[in-house]
Amino acid sequence: MGVVIETEVWFPNHSIFIFIFISCLLSILCFSHFKTNHTNTNTSSIFDQSFPPSLTTFLLCFSISSVLEGLGSVPGEYELAYYGLNREQMVLSLCVGYAASLFIAPLLGVFSDLIGHKRICLTFCILHLFVGVWKRITSHPNIWLASICLGLANSIFSFSFETWLVVEHDKLGHRQDMLNDMFWLMAFLKSACFIGSQVIANWLVGNLFKQHVGSLSTATVLLAILSIISVTRGRKEPAKLAASKDYQTSFYSYVLCDKRIWLLIWAQACVQFSVAAFWILWAPTVVADGREVHLGLIYPCLLGAGMLGSTFFPWFVSGLLSLRTEDCLLYAFSVAGIVLSVVAYDYQEIGVLVTLFCLFHACVGLILPSLARLRTLYVPNELRGGMMSLSLVPVSAAILFFLMQGGYYRNIENSTIIAFAAVGLFSAAGSMYLLKQWGKQLHNDWHKM
């Protein structure tokens, strides 16, 4: 007797997208209404008409760069397969990118403090422009070179724009509450722009990837040029080159000798590792039971959950909810760790997995701007780029190790990597508990260095 195998394609209910959109809208509008009626009317925020044009220009520049960054990651393994790479070569290409981040990216963070953050942001745009032109004019580009450039660009993107924002905000003398608003807006817009990158890639490629892959490179080149124009416009960054010895002394005194900043570095490294591991393993985890899944519809759900999580940040930081930033991070890290622990247990129900993934990204959306706020409280602006790039070292080293052992040699299961990320998140929660116990003692002489 013959066996009939029914194929079933799983995809999320379309009502989820409507729910996330309405939830984000309500969270923002309700916060605006509540803050207007219950706080000092002299407090400025993004909901005021007096929002500075300089910050609006920065958000536009950041949004264009976010679309550019997202467009480079949307094709993923499809593009690598188009260029003839097998599974092992794909893993090695990822390893090359993370190796570049491990050895070069920390130096870029220091250079950003020494020569100016705007110039490093410009380097991010140039790297994407180079890769786009290289792929457009070459039928079989050097994937290793492209991986190095994109790995460095991704590392720069993780710290350069935030540092540039904080330094410019301090120079212009805007209020602190505006800077807090900018942190969650950056997290919100980053996820929204990544969704936009997916829309652009699907529109350019459609169902014929092999025939229209060149259009992605063309779009990358155009966006890179537009990003370069947006970065170079506006007030010119004054030429500066801080004395290397003075910088080393300040970095040692204010960063390396401050145990509170080490806690922030560790927390940032843990969340970056968990996010990186998630984006590498989420698709294999979802399809592990052999069912066909519409990954293209799950992707915007995850990013939308991150957008929703970022809208929770102003409720806590504004004082409308009586919860310190350290407490907020402690709970968010704990919930994210529990979620990944359940995933690491090898849970196979797709609907539950997607729900857990969305909850994880909602926590990440809250964690990122909260950590940015704590960095503003503890880290001198003149050392922020070096401090943030320092957190990339353990992340790149851990990802590189697990890619080689799990992806290339297959000595480690995917669930083990996810469990390791969960343990890291729990340890980050512990670091936030210690940070709260030690308290904050701000250095009032930071800008007199």
The predicted-structure confidence for 194-232, as pLDDT tens digits, reads as follows: 999 999 988 888 766 666 677 888 999 999 999 999 998
> Are 160 and 121 a contacting pair, CB within 8 Å?
yes
What pLDDT band is residue 162 in, cutting at 50, 70 and 90?
A: very high
If phi over 0 gives left and psi between -120 and 50 gives alpha, with beta otherwise, what is residue 173? Answer: left
**Which pLDDT belongs to residue 209?**
63
pLDDT at 446 over 70: no
Backbone angles phi, psi at 116, to 5 degrees: 120, 135
| pLDDT attached to residue 345 | 85
Judge whether residue 50 has pLDDT over 80: no
- CA dist., res. 245 & res. 129, Å (int): 34
The closest of 258, 365, 268, 349 to 309, measured between CA atoms, is 365
What secondary structure does DSSP assign to 191-226, as a single string? HHHHHHHHHHHHHHHTT-HHHHHHHHHHHHHHHHHH
Q: Give pLDDT, residue 207.
A: 65
Residue 93 has pLDDT above 60, yes or no: yes
Per-residue pLDDT at 408? 84
Express each pLDDT in 376-435 by its tens digit: 999 999 999 999 999 999 999 999 999 999 988 889 999 999 999 999 999 999 999 999
Residue 93 to residue 81: CA distance in whole angstroms? 12
The token pair that represents 219 in the structure block: 């779009």
Nearest in space to 114 (alpha carbons), one of 253, 250, 248, 241: 241
pLDDT at 46 over 60: no
Give the per-residue pLDDT at 440.
52
C-alpha to C-alpha distance for 48 and 46, rounded to whole angstroms: 5
Question: What Rg value do the Cα atoms of the chain yield, rounded?
Answer: 22
Tell me, what's the pLDDT at 449? Answer: 42
**Residue 208: its pLDDT value, please?**
66
pLDDT of residue 225: 96
Q: What is the pLDDT of residue 51?
A: 66
Give the number of C-alpha atoms closer than 13 A to the C-alpha of residue 77, restricted to the C-beta side. 12
Q: What is the mean pLDDT of the chain?
A: 86
Query: Is the CB of residue 242 less than 8 Å from the CB of residue 403?
Result: no
Q: What are phi and psi of 239, to 5 degrees?
A: -65, 125
Kindly tell me if the per-residue pLDDT of 307 is higher than 50.
Answer: yes
